[in-house]
């Protein structure tokens, strides 16, 4: 490679990655493995990296969180720099980044829940799963969300894995949650909650549910919660049975097997403290209550049509039930960032093979929507980075290929950046604090505490 060619040793390709979740790190990994010389600066709003793995994965899923070992190796590469506590679009503009980076890769994820357009959705004790999960996972923006759960009945709308995560966390005992990295504040609130009944409701039937059998199996092994199913819900229609014969519905087959197992071990006379009701063919119509949620009305559904083309229709029947905690878990969407094209309808960035425009590329959920597991992001990010490298000759080099002006801008604005080395010091303290409480870690939440650790 000759002098001044982007990606050469004399003029490395300068890449800014917006977001530090799995897709961002896989993009960095692919760039590192290329034949090109690359310098990567990763910007993150939080003080700690790993995005969804830190703030979205359930605290009792430590095995899933272990994927961060890979990301740590990437972060230790000399060509990589982590810039924590920086919100792009607020602390730094896209125009300012463009002056100092040849390429911007957006890996900001799907940070917002899909709205549930029913009356009274904003009553007190009505939350999105995004908020609730972020609260018990120690996300700094959501720590004032809940200080007490004095509800006796919780309703969770949605039949995905996140809905089951929320139900499981609500149902677990203190003993089950204590060894995890759940925050101490959330642990205290959850372990003293008044919850007796937890309802997980979905619009369609068990064959169409998007949760997985592993999550269902976890529900069946809870220490002090009984799972309750209606046997009629597992009496499948001819169309459902035909759908299960399709090789692409292997997951649905596993789910049906897991549900039947839960039904077989169901004990109506159980003395367990909590009950988890898994119900199908139910759509929320409205929340009931004055200031706080006291119940909700629902419509009852059925599926009609042939296999693979079944449509949801109302039976015309409605009912009401009491509940004083309502959590909606019906999906996620990305949020726009000033200076970056955004598709409001899809909640993603418009792109072709990850290319948004001449210098902006996109990876992860903000690219394809909230689908797949953590590992899905690797192929997704590699597709984008390979497209970027194929277009390398078409890139316009930035005006000032240097990070120092960015540091100067942030310093003038009174914004303190957090480096990867800083995060290692913070993590060591989190582990030390956790071990003192019999936990794997006690997450830091507030910046004042973080800066005290770094300044000590």
Q: What is the pLDDT of residues 323-336, one digit of tens each?
A: 999 999 999 999 99
Q: How far is CA 153 from the centre of its chain?
A: 25
- Mean pLDDT value across residues 374-400: 96
**Domains in the chain and their CATH numbers?**
13-111+334-418 (3.40.50.720), 114-331 (3.50.50.60)
Name the band, by pLDDT with cuts 50, 70 and 90, for residue 183: very high
Checking if the pLDDT of 295 tops 60, the result is yes
- Please answer whether residues 364 and 25 qualify as being in contact, where contact means their C-beta atoms are separated by less than 8 angstroms: no
Q: Residue 268: what pLDDT? A: 82
Checking if the pLDDT of 344 tops 80, the result is yes
Going by the DSSP 8-state scheme, the letter that residue 437 receives in this structure is T
Q: Residue 2: what pLDDT? A: 46
- Mean pLDDT value across residues 426-431: 98
User: Left, alpha or beta for 432 (phi > 0: left; psi -120 to 50: alpha)?
Assistant: alpha
Q: Residue 112: what pLDDT? A: 93
The token pair that represents 319 in the structure block: 């009912």
- Mean pLDDT value across residues 91-98: 97
Q: Residue 4: what pLDDT? A: 66
The token pair that represents 194 in the structure block: 């008044």
Q: Residue 1: what pLDDT? A: 42
Question: pLDDT tens-digit profile of 18-61?
Answer: 999 999 999 999 999 999 999 999 999 999 999 999 999 999 99
Checking if the pLDDT of 309 tops 90, the result is yes
- Mean pLDDT value across residues 419-434: 98
- 3-class DSSP assignment, residue 28: helix
Checking if the pLDDT of 394 tops 90, the result is yes
Short-list 125, 108, 122, 117, CA closest to 52: 108
Question: pLDDT tens-digit profile of 103-156?
Answer: 999 999 999 999 999 999 999 999 999 999 999 999 999 999 999 999 999 999
Checking if the pLDDT of 238 tops 60, the result is yes
**Residue 377: which residues within 8 A CB-CB, separation 6 or more?**
21, 22, 23, 26, 363, 364
* Length of the chain counted residue by residue: 456
Q: Residue 188: what pLDDT? A: 97
- Mean pLDDT value across residues 290-317: 97
Short-list 93, 111, 140, CA closest to 52: 111
Name the band, by pLDDT with cuts 50, 70 and 90, for residue 269: confident
**Residue 256: which residues within 8 A CB-CB, separation 6 or more?**
206, 207, 234, 236, 244
- Mean pLDDT value across residues 195-221: 97
The rounded mean pLDDT for the chain is 96
Q: Residue 3: what pLDDT? A: 52
Name the band, by pLDDT with cuts 50, 70 and 90, for residue 198: very high
Q: How many angstroms separate the CA atoms of 284 and 302, rounded?
A: 14
Q: What percent of the chain has pLDDT over 70?
A: 99
Q: Residue 418: what pLDDT? A: 98
């Amino acid at each position: 490679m000759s002098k001044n060619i982007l990606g050469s040793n004399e003029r490395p390709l300068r890449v800014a990655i917006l977001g530090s979740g799995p897709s961002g790190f896989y993009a960095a990994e692919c760039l590192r493995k290329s034949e090109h010389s690359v310098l990567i600066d990763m910007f993150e709003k939080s003080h700690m990296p790993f995005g969804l793995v830190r703030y979205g994965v359930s605290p009792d899923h430590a095995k899933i969180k272990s994927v961060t070992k890979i990301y740590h190796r990437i972060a230790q590469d000399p060509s990589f720099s982590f810039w924590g506590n920086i919100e792009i679009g607020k602390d730094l503009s896209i125009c300012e980044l463009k002056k100092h980076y040849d390429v911007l890769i957006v890996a900001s994820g799907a940070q917002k829940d899909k709205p549930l357009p029913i009356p009274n959705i904003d009553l007190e004790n009505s939350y999105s799963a995004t908020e609730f999960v972020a609260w018990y996972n120690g996300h700094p923006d959501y720590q004032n969300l809940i200080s007490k759960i004095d509800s006796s009945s919780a309703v969770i709308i949605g039949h995905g894995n996140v809905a089951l995560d929320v139900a499981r966390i609500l149902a677990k005992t203190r003993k089950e949650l204590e060894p995890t990295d759940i925050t101490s504040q959330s642990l205290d609130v959850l372990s003293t909650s008044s919850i007796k009944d937890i309802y997980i409701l979905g619009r369609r039937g068990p064959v169409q549910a998007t949760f997985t059998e592993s999550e269902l199996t976890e529900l069946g092994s809870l220490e002090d919660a009984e799972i309750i199913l209606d046997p009629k819900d597992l009496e499948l229609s001819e169309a459902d049975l035909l759908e299960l014969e399709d090789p692409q519905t292997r997951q649905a087959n596993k789910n049906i097997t897991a549900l039947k197992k839960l039904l077989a071990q169901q004990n109506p006379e159980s003395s367990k403290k909590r009950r988890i009701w898994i119900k199908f063919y139910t759509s929320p119509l409205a929340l009931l209550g004055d200031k706080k949620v006291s119940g909700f009305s629902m419509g009852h559904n059925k599926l009609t049509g042939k296999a693979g083309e079944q449509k949801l229709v109302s039976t015309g029947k409605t009912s009401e039930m009491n509940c004083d905690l309502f959590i909606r878990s019906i999906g996620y969407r990305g949020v726009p960032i000033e200076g970056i094209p955004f598709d409001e309808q899809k909640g993603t960035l418009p792109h072709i093979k990850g290319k948004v425009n001449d210098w902006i590329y996109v990876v992860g959920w903000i690219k394809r929507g909230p689908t797949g597991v953590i590992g899905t992001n690797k192929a997704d990010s590699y597709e984008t980075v390979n497209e970027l490298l194929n277009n390398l000759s078409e890139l316009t080099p930035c005006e000032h290929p240097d990070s120092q002006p960015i540091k100067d801008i942030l310093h003038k604005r009174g914004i303190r950046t957090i480096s990867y080395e800083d995060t290692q010091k913070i993590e060591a303290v989190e582990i030390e604090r956790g071990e003192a409480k019999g936990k794997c870690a006690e997450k830091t939440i507030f910046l004042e505490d973080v800066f005290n650790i770094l300044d000590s």
